[in-house]
Amino acid sequence: MDFSILTIFPEIFDSFVAHGIIRRAIEAGIVSVSPMDIRNFADGKHRITDDRPYGGGAGMVMKPEPLHRAIAEARKQNPAGRTILLSPQGRPFKQSVASEFSMLDGLIFICGRYEGVDERIYKYIDEEISIGDYVLTGGEPAAMIIIDAVTRLLPGALGAEESAEKDSFSEHLLEHAHYTRPPVFEDEAVPDILLSGNHGAISDWRLESSLVRTLLKRPDLLDAKTLGNREKKALKQWCQYIEQLISA
Ligand code: SAM
């Protein structure tokens, strides 16, 4: 998967590509991450990429010509790339969108700055994506978030000991609770089942933990979920605990 990023601050990505799973995925040839400086496509000695808005008002707008040239070059280098304009006005980015993007061969991100991009750039993009209902100063953190979430879904990107399968949002559930050593921390012990070696019981405990967390923290996710028998049983058991607590 090839990620191209059009930005006026390409150096922001230096550290992003130098660590952890992203670095490993680059080294393994699973992804390429190529920041491209929009200023290289701007005219004149000062390589200006923004200008005042027509009609007046505060802020600057990213000029269309450098962006248009940068998009054309990115498409040459990344011909299979879907061109994404990062914008708070776009389709909300979710795990399901990460999954959809992980099937593509490439993505080209346009990172806006200032008030955003000249409206005439819209006809050169495939899609507008938002990472949430808040406004960032620039699209670069949004590009990193999407690249990160997509990369970990690509075959081979996670090590054998890591897995995206049970991650939160897969199967419309949040992931179960985790514990590691020590077995007792500040008087709080790890649940016995997790130390039991009984894989069936551990799996049931994790399913219940996952369901209960989703119910408490993000009940909206369950609206889209069809519960199987195992899941219904786990929830019923939990309802029984609650009934016992209430009637005690
Ligand atoms: N004036 C724009 C508006 O109100 O819709 C916001 C511009 S914002 C200050 C500058 C740039 O940051 C945007 O062009 C976009 O690339 C990026 N950005 C800001 N918030 C974002 C979000 N929630 N998701 C994705 N990109 C965002």
What DSSP letter does each residue of the chain carry, written as one string? -EEEEEES-GGGHHHHTTSHHHHHHHHTTS-EEEEEEGGGGS-TTTT--EEPPTT--SS-EE-HHHHHHHHHHHHHHSTTEEEEEEEEEEEEP-HHHHHHHTTSSEEEEE---TT-B-GGGGGG-SEEEESSSS--S-SHHHHHHHHHHHHTTSTTSS-TT--STTSTTGGG-PPPP---S-SEETTEEPPHHHHS--HHHHHHHHHHHHHHHHHHH-HHHHTT----HHHHHHHHHHHHHHHHHHH-
- Residue minimizing CA distance to atom 19 of ligand 1: 136
82-105 pLDDT, tens digit per residue, is 999 999 999 999 999 999 999 999
Q: What average pLDDT does range 206-211 have in this prediction?
A: 95
Q: Confidence band (pLDDT; 50, 70, 90) for 228?
A: very high
Domain spans of the chain, in order of start: 2-151, 184-247
Tell me how far the alpha carbon of residue 85 lies from the centroid of ligand 1, in angstroms: 10
Percent of the chain with pLDDT over 70: 99
Q: Which residues line ligand 1 (CB under 6 A)?
A: 86-89, 111-113, 115-116, 130-132, 134-139, 142
- 186 labelled catalytic: no
- 152 labelled catalytic: yes
Whether pTM exceeds 0.85: yes
pLDDT of residue 55: 97
CATH architecture observed for domain 2-151? 3-Layer(aba) Sandwich (3.40)
pLDDT of residue 161: 65
Q: What average pLDDT does range 114-138 have in this prediction?
A: 98
Q: Confidence band (pLDDT; 50, 70, 90) for 170?
A: confident
Domain 2-151 and domain 184-247, same fold? Reply is no
Tell me how far the alpha carbon of residue 136 lies from the centroid of ligand 1, in angstroms: 5
Average per-residue pLDDT for the chain:
96
CATH architecture observed for domain 184-247? Orthogonal Bundle (1.10)
- 188 labelled catalytic: no
